[in-house]
Amino acid sequence: MKRLLPLLLAAALAALASPALAYLTITAETDRSSVEINGNVYLTVTVAGDSATVPEPKLPNMQNFNVYSSGRSQSISIINGKITTSVAFTYILTPRFLGVQRIPSISISNGKEKAATPEIQVVVTKARQQAQAQQPAQPRQQPRGKAAGRQPGKAGEQIFIKAETDRKTAYVGEQINLSIKFYTAVPLSSNPQYVPPVLKNLLAEDLPPVRNGETDIGGVRYAYSEIKTALFALTPGPAVVQPATVVAQIPSDQPIDPFDPNFFQTFMSMSGAQGKSRDFSTETLNLDIKPLPAGAPDSFSGAVGSYTVSASADRTDAKAGEAVNFSVTVSGNGNLKTVTAPKLPDLGDFKVFDTMSSLDVKKDGDVLSGKKTFTYILVPRSEGKKTIPPIKFAFFDPKTASYKELQTEPLVMTVEKGEPGTKSVYYNPSAAQSQVTASGADIRYVSDENGPGALAGLAARAAALPLWAHAIPAALLGLAFWLSRFNRFKSANPLLFKFRRARSEAFRDIDRAEALIKAGRNNEAVSELYNSFMNYLSDKCGVKVSALTTRKAAELIKERFPRAQDSSLEEIRELWSALELRHFAPSASEAEGTGDLAKKYSLLIEMLEKELR
């Protein structure tokens, strides 16, 4: 009976939990399998799950690519009370080396489930016009008539880095584009390493991809790489873009004298070396952030940019008590991540539940744009024509330095009489499962049909069952009552159950240690025996014995269990010392084998079980 009860309970719990099983998937794909060394690869990672939110993937370390975030697109659907979320994360990869390059597996976890993508291979080839690109290498060399370090560009440098913004002043939340360009008039020994600047009072969003090109500065031909970033100020006042740094390996410009007796040694050391490493940094940029002007409308919640707003429902014909998905979409240019849900007007004809949001961000033309959708769950209270009033949304337009307030069109719904027993849907994003569940009947109608009804028919079928079947509910009720009393007793007496369970757990640990011994893992087996012995004595005495000395532990055992013999206490001290010695100094005691310790521990338990009562 003791073995049967857990199986029955496990089966019942599995049957109840099976409809709520969650799933988590992740896929990754690239827009191409082959790319030139100066091209870009778009990587799309899609995460889907059956909850309102899904985890964001963490890309593994990819030394063979430069990785830039290019936005995300999120969609949430609620169909028949089930939430499904899908988020597509887009990244732009710029290759750094030729050959077959690998994108490692990308994994995610929500704490309960794990998922991973397979590895992706991308073939990186030479640029089609690489030969022409190598031609300007000679003009980039410093003219002989000029002294070292006297070069047009920035303070006469052949290599320099420059940072600038498209504006020095901006409103809070207004987009500021930061451009960082790395110029070089000499070939580099290896790919430079970029360290982005530290920002104060600013949020940043990448604006990929990296731009590459060539330009003339003061009659000298430079190759450059440009990284752009969108910045958004948080509060009025000063904002700072601290220096960005590029670490580059520069070929040595030390002249070689062919008549030098050390010519071959110098030539070989210079040709085999990677050159000298130098850091190039930008200057600090200071920005002035202006506060938003006064006079904001009541519907303003901090949105800055240029937007439009619209509203829609998944259906305009519904029944009372059934859930309707009502969506408000804000579209336009600006930092949509900071846009909050518009405040709904008073909807007396509906029950309104928590909102969910989905985000679709684009970065075309160095401007952040896209749309953000807020989905509300509305449940009509009664039948008839129901109107959802216009939703107001206000934003600050930095181009006109003024506030604008928009509103959606009113939405008319036709609500019919609900079915008897119609369920109302509640959504609670803070719940552990984060899913839609049916909580009870919202509207019940009195049937106008004559007859016994479904309840009477069910009672008649139940009365026709054999007598033994009527005893099943009573037996289940008695079992539930007994389990409830047992769990309360177990919770109130944890030490008692540890005392009774100590022997079985000790022998289970001994079996585990013997398996380790057979595998030749003696040190792990000793650790298993030592921890098991400490746990066994702790469970028997009701205190943590490992924190005591052997003498105090023996005194405690004698005090708790007067029937304990002195010979048994001596055996405890000997086994304790032997296990402790082997546990903390594995090479100090080789005379007594690990297998002998396991056997001695087993015999000691059998003896103590008779005395420690």
Question: What's 163's domain CATH number?
Answer: 2.60.40
Per-residue pLDDT for 154 more than 90? no
| Residue 382 and residue 321 in one domain | yes
**283 and 243 both lie in a single domain:** yes
Mean pLDDT over residues 524-545, rounded? 83
556-602 pLDDT tens trace: 888 888 888 888 888 888 887 777 777 665 554 443 577 888 888 88
Q: Are 163 and 282 in contact (CB under 8 A)?
A: yes
Q: How far is CA 517 from the centre of its chain?
A: 41
pLDDT in tens, 338-374: 899 898 898 888 988 767 788 888 888 899 999 999 9
Write down which residue in 95, 128, 161 finishes a domain.
128
- Average pLDDT, integer, range 267-289: 74
Question: Could you say which DSSP state residue 105 is in?
Answer: -
Q: What mean pLDDT is reported for the chain?
A: 78
Joined tokens for residue 230: 């969108």
Name, of 56-65, 124-133, 283-292, the range with top average pLDDT: 283-292
CB atoms within 10 A of CB 117: 19
Give 155's pLDDT tier (boundaries 50, 70, 90).
very low
> Which of the listed residues 107, 128, 149 is the one where a domain comes to its end?
128
Provide mean pLDDT across the span 131-147.
Answer: 40
| Residue 286 pLDDT greater than 90, yes or no | yes
- pLDDT of residue 252 exceeding 70: no
Clarify whether residues 337 and 430 are in a common domain: yes
Summarize pLDDT for 390-431 with one digit per residue, the tens.
Answer: 999 999 999 999 999 999 999 999 999 876 655 444 444 443
Check residue 18 and give its pLDDT: 42
pLDDT at 424: 45
| Whole-number pLDDT of residue 585 | 57
pTM of the model: 0.54
For residues 120-135, give the mean pLDDT: 69
- In this structure, the answer to whether residues 282 and 346 fall within a common structural domain is no
Which is it for strands 114-116 and 107-109: parallel, antiparallel or unpaired?
antiparallel
Structure tokens at 365: 């033309």
Residue 163 included in any domain = yes
- How far apart CA 463 and CA 447 sit, in angstroms, is 25
- Asked if 92 and 209 count as a contact pair (C-beta separation under 8 A), the reply is yes
Q: Mean of the pLDDT values across residues 32-49? A: 87
User: Tens digits of per-residue pLDDT, 167-224?
Assistant: 999 999 999 999 999 999 888 766 778 888 999 999 998 888 888 888 998 888 998 9
Distance CA 171, CA 399 (A): 10
Parallel/antiparallel/unpaired status of strands 300-313 and 392-397: parallel
* In contact, 205 and 165? CB cutoff 8 Å: no
Give how many domains the chain has, as a whole number.
4
Q: Please, which pLDDT band fits residue 449 given cuts at 50, 70 and 90?
A: low
Instruction: Tell me how crowded residue 214 is: count the other CB atoms within 10 A of its CB.
Output: 12
459-513 per-position pLDDT tens digit: 677 777 777 776 787 788 788 877 877 777 766 666 666 777 888 888 888 888 8
pLDDT of 602: 86
Residue where one domain finishes, among candidates 110, 128, 146: 128
Predicted pLDDT at 150: 34
Q: Give yes or no: residues 512 and 594 share one domain.
A: yes
Residues 122 and 138 in one domain: no
Domain that holds residue 107: 22-128
Q: Is residue 5 part of a domain?
A: no
pLDDT at 231: 95
Residue the block writes with tokens 């409103």: 171
Indicate whether 298 belongs to any domain: no
